[in-house]
């Protein structure tokens, strides 16, 4: 081990990335709390207890912050979905797992930012990039529904409408969910998924 008091380039890059993620996470919380247009770089710096010029070492401007927050949120949604697909069971079982994972992400900072703020304040080029990520997530829902219909674990329906309906309902959780509320994100996920897939009719 080196006795040098200076950090290696790898350590410096790692530390910078940790601080950059902290800036983005803090910004996402602010956007979620008071809105994108009501949040300034000064507000974000104040929440981090740093000066505004310090932020420019990690980001270019507020628009880049929002792009990165939404991109991370969408990538986490896709990653969470991919992690629970292909582990056996019916398409219905995998759809339940994907829906549960989806709620888990949209009740966290970056996922919540995808729903509460989204890509609308950004440039057309940035919106196209983010919408391409959204389409990939939508296709995961559709492909599972189509497979479930084919194997008989899911009732015959229009896969596109079903996918939009499920994702739309689950996304709305991010609008009203409160981390300090009476129910945990896990409990809300279980209840929401059960309600969407089994409905309100009495059973038995």
Task: Render pLDDT for 41-67 as a digit per residue (tens, 0 to 9).
Answer: 999 999 999 999 999 999 999 999 999
Query: Structure pTM?
Result: 0.89
| 131 to 13, 127, 138: CA distances (angstroms) | 30, 6, 10
From the CB of residue 28, how many other CB atoms can be counted at a distance below 10 Å? 28
Q: What pLDDT does 3 receive?
A: 66
Confidence of residue 8 (pLDDT cuts 50, 70, 90): low
Residue recorded with tokens 């996304």: 171
Rg (CA), the chain: 20
Angle in degrees, CA 168, 112, 173, rounded to 5: 45
Name the token pair of 153. Answer: 């674990």
The full set of domain ranges for the chain reads 9-198
Among left, alpha and beta (phi > 0; psi -120 to 50; other), residue 117 is alpha
3-state secondary structure of 67: helix
| 38 to 28, 64, 126, 174: CA distances (angstroms) | 12, 16, 21, 19
Residue 99's φ and ψ, nearest 5 degrees, are -65, -40
pLDDT tens per residue across span 164-189:
999 999 999 999 999 888 999 999 99
Would you identify the CATH topology of the domain 9-198?
Tetracycline Repressor; domain 2 (1.10.357)
């Amino acid at each position: 081990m080196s006795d040098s008091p200076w950090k290696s380039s790898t350590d410096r890059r790692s530390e910078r990335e940790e601080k950059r993620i902290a800036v983005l996470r803090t910004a996402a919380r602010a956007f979620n709390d008071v809105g994108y247009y009501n949040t300034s770089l000064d507000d974000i710096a104040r929440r981090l207890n740093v000066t505004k010029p310090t932020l420019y070492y990690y980001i270019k401007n507020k628009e880049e912050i929002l792009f990165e927050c939404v991109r991370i949120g969408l990538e986490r949604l896709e990653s969470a979905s991919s992690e629970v697909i292909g582990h056996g069971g019916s398409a219905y079982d995998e759809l339940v797992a994907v829906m549960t994972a989806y709620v888990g992400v949209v009740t966290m900072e970056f996922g919540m930012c995808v729903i509460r703020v989204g890509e609308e304040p950004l440039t057309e080029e940035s919106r196209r990039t983010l919408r391409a990520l959204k389409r990939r997530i939508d296709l995961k829902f559709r492909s599972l529904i189509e497979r479930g219909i084919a194997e008989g674990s899911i009732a015959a329906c229009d896969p596109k409408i079903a996918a939009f309906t499920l994702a739309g309902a689950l996304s709305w959780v991010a609008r009203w969910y409160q981390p300090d509320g009476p129910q945990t994100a896990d409990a809300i996920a279980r209840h929401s998924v059960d309600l969407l897939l089994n409905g309100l009719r009495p059973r038995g």
